[in-house]
Amino acid sequence: MEIADWRLKIDELDLQIVALLSERAVAAKAIGQLKRSTSMPVYEPNRERVIFERVRAANKGPLPDIELVHIYERIIDVMRALQRDELASGNNTTTGS
Amino acid sequence: MEIADWRLKIDELDLQIVALLSERAVAAKAIGQLKRSTSMPVYEPNRERVIFERVRAANKGPLPDIELVHIYERIIDVMRALQRDELASGNNTTTGS
């Protein structure tokens, strides 16, 4: 395969990755709403640790675990920001931090 | 759906996302090998711009475009590092990990 062929392949994969990230964001947003109604914190280090462990366990390469986790750190950051927005949009009361 | 149900959904999505990122890495690595044999540079700003444009165009929400691009910046960084490793391994071939 030539570079152009591999790029077509990457373009197809990116459409699928974007769709899955959107689905993941829908779920994160829904959790944000449930957290709002139960006054749970957005940041839950134990849950995030579980996610990173699952990602490492699912990794079959060729990315090193650390690089995959590096991508996931960004994904989690973005999803956490989405949940914060969700909480902020629900009411004007803030909890200070 | 409860928080636990949404988390199961996220866990399933993460398995799919990890698998697609691995496929994307295989393609990036293959391109790295082709670049090595044709002395092409790893960093190609035009190609990266095309990827970001495609990602934005494919975004149906709920993530804002800027946050999705934020995730993709990390993905591109990691894939570029993989290609650099691929090029570097041309001088002394190793069969690591």
What is the per-residue pLDDT across A9-33, written as a single tens digit (0 to 9) for each? 999 999 999 999 999 999 999 999 9
The 3 state secondary structure assigned to chain A is CCHHHHHHHHHHHHHHHHHHHHHHHHHHHHHHHHHHHHCCCCCCHHHHHHHHHHHHHHCCCCCCHHHHHHHHHHHHHHHHHHHHHHHHHHCCCCCCC
> What is d(CA A34, CA A54) in angstroms, rounded to the nearest whole number?
23
Please report the residues numbered 11 through 70 in chain A whose beta carbons come closer than 8 angstroms to any beta carbon of chain B: 11, 13-31, 34-35, 40, 47, 51, 54-55, 58-64, 67-68, 70
pLDDT tens digits, chain B, 97 residues: what are they?
Answer: 999 999 999 999 999 999 999 999 999 999 999 998 888 888 899 999 999 999 999 999 999 999 999 999 999 999 999 999 888 887 544 444 4
B3 burial level (CB within 10 Å; 0-12, 13-18, 19+):
middle
Q: Which of B24, B29, B79, B85 to mutate to test binding with chain A, by most A CBs within 10 Å of its CB? A: B24
Say which CATH number the domain at B51 has: 1.20.59.10
DSSP 8-state class, residue B39: T
Q: Which of B23, B42, B63, B97 to mutate to test binding with chain A, by most A CBs within 10 Å of its CB? A: B63
Q: Take residue A30 and report the two structure tokens written for it.
A: 């829904």
B7/A24 Cβ within 8 A: no
Instruction: Name the residue range of residue B44's domain.
Output: 17-88
Total domain count, chain A:
1
Residue B10 lies in a domain: no
pLDDT the model gives residue B91: 52
Residue A3 lies in a domain: no
Q: Which of B71, B94, B95 is nearest to B20 (CA)?
A: B71
B71 close to B56: Cβ distance less than 8 angstroms: no
Residue A95 lies in a domain: no
Residue A5 lies in a domain: no
Residue B69 lies in a domain: yes
Residue B6 lies in a domain: no
pLDDT the model gives residue B42: 87
Going from the C-alpha of B42 to that of each of A95, B85, B93, the distances in angstroms are 46, 10, 19
pLDDT class of A46 with cuts at 50, 70, 90: very high
Q: How many CB pairs under 8 A join A and B?
A: 144
Residue B9 lies in a domain: no
Residue A93 lies in a domain: no
